[in-house]
Copies of this chain bind each other. A is one copy, B any other.
Amino acid sequence: MTKTRREQAEWRREQLLDAALKVFAAKGVDGASVKDIAEAAGVTPGLLYRYFESKEALVTTLLSERGFLPQLRELLTADHRGRPAVEMLTELLGAFDALLADNADLMAVFFGATQARAALAELVGEGQRLIGDFLAARVAEGELRPHDTATAARTLFATVAVSRRTGSPLDVARLVELLFPHER
């Protein structure tokens, strides 16, 4: 029942990564001190340096070892043949969503600035609401076909914002054409 040295070391390493992930997510990478992490792991700061070269190494290790890109890849490349695309797609995106939820802490590390989070939420919320209102009005006037305007607004807003942030330019006309094909 007792651990061997090797097991104990592996366990401690994981425990430290767990603690670091949690603390980084809560306070941001810069906002979290090595002492914070050590305390969260019930350990002295010095011990951290037996397992990781530096605080920065902790971050990069977290990003590489705890990154969920492999899972994402597996998820999306599995053999999906023989089942209806729409059903399949729904399941797929659901799984992707769940993956993000499971890795909420890591996602939080990607987005630092704890302080600005509320302001960001407000911006996103209002943006989506306003676009939704616009769409709903046009549906009411009969110009656009009836559809889930709230979801459409979300889609439009998110796509523009993510494209802008990740640096890959977006052809807005294509996006609109995708959602509202052949409408005039």
Beta-carbon nearest neighbor of A111 in chain B: B111
State A86–B168 Cα separation when bound (angstroms). Answer: 23
Q: Select from chain B the residue with minimum beta-carbon distance to A117.
A: B110
> Is residue A10 contacting chain B, with contact meaning CB distance below 8 A?
no
Q: 29 A-B contacts, Cβ less than 8 Å apart?
A: A29-B112, A29-B113, A29-B116, A63-B116, A64-B119, A67-B119, A69-B126, A72-B127, A89-B156, A90-B173, A92-B134, A93-B156, A93-B175, A96-B127, A100-B161, A104-B164, A107-B164, A111-B165, A112-B112, A121-B167, A147-B178, A147-B181, A148-B177, A151-B174, A154-B159, A158-B161, A159-B159, A161-B162, A179-B179
CB of B67 within 8 A of CB of A176, answer: no
How far in angstroms is the closest Cβ of chain B from A139? 9
Indicate whether A97 sits within 8 Å of B176 (C-beta atoms), given known contacts A31-B30, A77-B130, A116-B110: no
Count of A interface residues, CB-CB < 8 Å: 88
Residues of A bordering B, CB below 8 Å: 28-31, 56, 59-60, 63-64, 67-69, 72-73, 76-77, 80, 84-86, 89-90, 92-94, 96-97, 100-101, 104, 107, 109-113, 115-116, 119-127, 130-131, 133-135, 138, 143-144, 147-148, 151-152, 154-168, 170-181, 183-184
Task: List B contacts of A89 (CB < 8 A).
Answer: 134-135, 156, 176, 180
20 more CB-based (< 8 A) A-B contacts, given A67-B119, A89-B156, A147-B178: A63-B119, A72-B123, A76-B130, A84-B143, A85-B138, A85-B180, A89-B176, A92-B134, A93-B160, A93-B176, A96-B160, A97-B160, A97-B163, A107-B164, A109-B116, A124-B162, A151-B171, A152-B178, A158-B158, A162-B162
